[in-house]
Amino acid sequence: MSEDSGNDEMLDLKKNSFEENEKVQLTRHNKGEIQALKMNRNERRKQLRQKKLLQKPYHEVIIKAKPIWEKLRRHDTPIEEKKRLAVDLNCLLQGSVKSLAYAHDTVRIIQGLFSMKMKDISASLFDQLKDDVVAMAKSKYARHIVMKMLKYGNTSQRKHIISSFYGHIPELACHTYAADVLQELYITYAKSKTRNDMISEFYLSKYKLIKDNVPSDLSKVIEENPSAKEVILKNIREYLLSIADKPVLQNPMLHRLLRMYLQNCTDNEKTEMVDCFIDRAIELVHTNDGCNAALDLLWVSTVKDRRKLLKSMKMHVTKMCLQAYSYIFVLAILECVDDKVALEKIVLKEIFSNLESISESKTGIKVLLYLMMSRDRRYIPKGVIDILEKGDNKQHRCKKSLPVKAEEIVNLSSEPLLNFVTDHLQALLSSGSTTLLIPAVLEKAVGNKRPAYEAICNLLNQSCTDRHAVLQNLHLQFLLNKLLINDRRLLGGGVKSNSIPFAQVFVELLTVDHLREYCKEKNTAFIILHLYETGLPAAKSTVKALLKNNKSKNDAMEILRRKIHSD
């Protein structure tokens, strides 16, 4: 046998040996995988969950706790048994609560124990977790436990949580998860002094300026520490810039901080804030401080900035009209934006598409009234007008004058609002605030008002069979008086109008017998008096016909007789 052939045999033997060993190793390694392949999908998922569970610390505790929790959380479990299960579960979790608080599956167990409102159990859990509340607030899952501790904890426990947060407020406020906890604490549980102390951390603690009685307003702090103004504002500015692109801007604490900064900074610094926050104004306007801050940004913004703002408002206008503060921002937008096309396309179009829901809201109806009446104090609250007037002298407010803007908005809004009033007349008469919209639209709108007038008269004729229907409907009485008084102003003052007066349609469509019923009651008799005062010939002749053989005695009828006699 040659040397070469011997070497080949040796190589073959080694190769075969290696393949056999590899085969054995592969078989052992893949044994679990082969078994897994024979399982269906649900079995594989169950096995994987079990494997992960065994790798967790305190896995034995978790395995025992979950069945107890599943029974405890059931609605059909008796209260006494729930209490017993809660005690057993609390004993089982002793010593492992800190670790279990951060896991997505066990955090619910701890939350559930707090929700049981058993003082001993809550106190036991709180004692184990109280030193970690700051870290828990930053956790995706453990933060929910902190919220439960705030909700179900006693006064001393809440005070401990608040004191633990001191020194970390700015950090927590810009943290994705902790911001929710801080917001809940600030809105629901913090009193005025606590809120003041929380806000002060943004501009005082770093510079050793904290005092026992911190002023509630940044302006007062600067007034007492004028040398620190530049440093304080710089610190706030840097912080605000750092959160400009973070999803934490809905926190009302940050709204207050931004508002105070804008009240004390220079115009150039305001412009910098506009660049950062103008397209996120919709995240600010749901609070008082946030709305005022957004208004400050709007009033110093440029045309380009306002285009960005309008784009960000798409699909949000209706919601803004329905909220307590943000509707004022919508009014400011209507005053400040020069671009008529963009205003109609983005803001007005959405309002007109949701007129019914907007009119049902106390704030929404003010927006609709503003479309017709602008800053008329008969319809718009004085406080709202005072806020809007703050922006009148701003540098970039609007190129068009306020009367010109008001006329533009009336022209754009007339047709949709006239149609809405005509089609929803009875619904609008259901409350005082919505009733006010009808005379506002019929006084200012441009276009054919006769269909709306006829709808009102038809409603009166429908109620003719019920003698007391109109007499008892105060909203309808108010509407009729308002429309007739407006006719008197237009016809008597020589105001030019292309539309037909309401009084003319009123006497055309209502019968003398129907109107005679109005003379019998004091409240409705004033409707007849105002009808006569319009000065319309047809109205005057109708009223005179009503008074023939009419012996009704009330204030309105006496005034009416004297007027007719003097004429």
Check whether residue 333 and residue 420 sit in a common domain.
yes
Residues 6+ away with beta carbon under 8 Å from 393: none
- 396 shares a domain with 291: yes
Last residue of a domain, one of 422, 447, 472: 447
How many distinct structural domains can be found in the chain?
A: 3
Q: Are residues 292 and 430 in the same domain?
A: yes
Q: Is residue 100 part of a domain?
A: no
Q: Is residue 539 part of a domain?
A: yes
- The tokens for 150 are 């705030």
Which of 419, 447, 475 is at the close of a domain?
A: 447
For residues 398 and 526, membership in a common domain is answered with: no
Looking at residue 11, what is its pLDDT?
47
Residue count (the chain):
567
pLDDT at position 14 over 50: no
pLDDT the model gives residue 397 = 65
Going by C-alpha positions, the residue among 104, 110, 105, 75 that lies closest to residue 89 is: 110
**CA dihedral for 90, 92, 98, 104, sign (positive or negative):** negative
Q: How many CB atoms lie within 10 A of CB 57?
A: 11
Looking at the domain assignment, is residue 379 inside a domain? yes
Residue in the block written with tokens 């479309």: 371
In a domain, 516, yes or no: yes
**Nearest CA-CA partner of 183 in 172, 197, 171, 196:** 172
Same-domain check for residues 430 and 470 = no
User: Span 274-301, mean pLDDT?
Assistant: 94
* Residue 488 sits in the same domain as residue 442: no
432-482 confidence digits (pLDDT tens): 999 999 999 999 999 999 999 999 998 888 765 565 566 678 899 999 999
Return the ∠ at Cα 99 (arms to 97 and 105), rounded to 5°: 85
Are 463 and 442 part of one and the same domain? no
**In-domain check, residue 217:** no
Domain that includes residue 432, residue range: 281-447
444 and 373 in contact (C-beta within 8 Å)?
Answer: yes
| Contact in structure between 539 and 507 (CB atoms under 8 Å) | yes
Q: Are 274 and 307 in contact (CB under 8 A)?
A: no
- Residue partners of 294: CB distance under 8 A and separation at least 6: 277, 281, 284, 285, 329
pLDDT at 135: 95
The pLDDT of residue 152: 94
- Cα 7 to chain centroid, rounded: 86
Same domain for 432 and 517, yes or no, is no
Mean pLDDT over each residue of the chain, to the nearest integer: 86
Q: What is the DSSP string of 113-154?
A: HHHTT-HHHHHHHHHHHGGGHHHHHTSTTTHHHHHHHHHH--
Query: Tens digit of pLDDT for each residue in 326-359?
Result: 999 999 999 999 999 999 999 999 999 999 999 9
Tell me: do 419 and 497 sit in the same domain. no
The answer to whether residues 443 and 527 belong to one domain is: no
Residue 393 lies in a domain: yes
Torsion sign (Cα): 446, 448, 451, 454: positive
Q: Final residue of a domain: which of 447, 467, 501?
A: 447
pLDDT tier for residue 37 given thresholds of 50, 70 and 90: low
The pLDDT of residue 396: 63
Query: Are residues 463 and 443 located together in one domain of the fold?
Result: no
Q: Where is mean pLDDT largest: 63-72, 365-374, 482-491?
A: 365-374
Do 381 and 497 belong together in one domain? no
Q: Residue 394 falls within a domain, yes or no?
A: yes
Whether 64 has a pLDDT exceeding 70, the answer reads yes
Asked if residue 547 belongs to a domain, the reply is yes
